[in-house]
Amino acid sequence: MSQQRIEVSLAGQKITLATSAEHEPLLRAACTLVDEQIQLAINGGNRSIERASMMAALKIAGDLIKLQTTSSQTPIQSAASNTDPTEIARLQQEIRSLEDQVDALMQTLSLPGSPRPIVP
């Protein structure tokens, strides 16, 4: 793998990086992502490039950790996320029914100053 130099722009500053031809597209995409995150941090009120760069790094690291956590779910967690849509609809209907029952019971509770019996 021979090294080559590429020029990229991060936070308006030109930077020369060494990479192989094989890794150049990935490095350029990474630089674009980092630059976008720095610009978002600057537009969000971070006035210094150093602080904006740290905020961008934290955002990207958080996204990476979230992705790693999601991809390392246990088989039970993965199965739960792939639940049949009809089962989800049934459970949602059951939840709505329970909410309706709770609402009906709440209406029969005694209010201060106007006692009413609790009717099951």
Measured over the CA atoms of residue 72, residue 76, residue 77 and residue 80, the dihedral's sign is positive
Alpha carbon distance 63, 10 (integer Å) = 20
What is the count of structural domains for the chain? 2
Provide the 8-state DSSP code for 12. Answer: T
Question: Does residue 34 sit in the same domain as residue 78?
Answer: yes
Q: Which residue reads 């793998």 in tokens?
A: 1
Question: Does residue 76 sit in the same domain as residue 112?
Answer: no
Q: In the chain, which residues have pLDDT < 50? A: 110-111, 114-120
Question: Does residue 17 sit in the same domain as residue 32?
Answer: yes
Instruction: Give the pLDDT of residue 120.
Output: 47
Question: Does residue 115 sit in the same domain as residue 70?
Answer: no
Range of the domain at 41: 3-82
Give the residue from 13, 17, 10, 55 showing the smallest Cα distance to 33: 10
Coil, strand or helix at 115: coil
**pTM for this one?**
0.57
Question: Does residue 47 sit in the same domain as residue 71?
Answer: yes
Question: Does residue 52 sit in the same domain as residue 106?
Answer: no
Q: pLDDT tens, 41-69?
A: 999 988 888 999 999 999 999 999 888 88
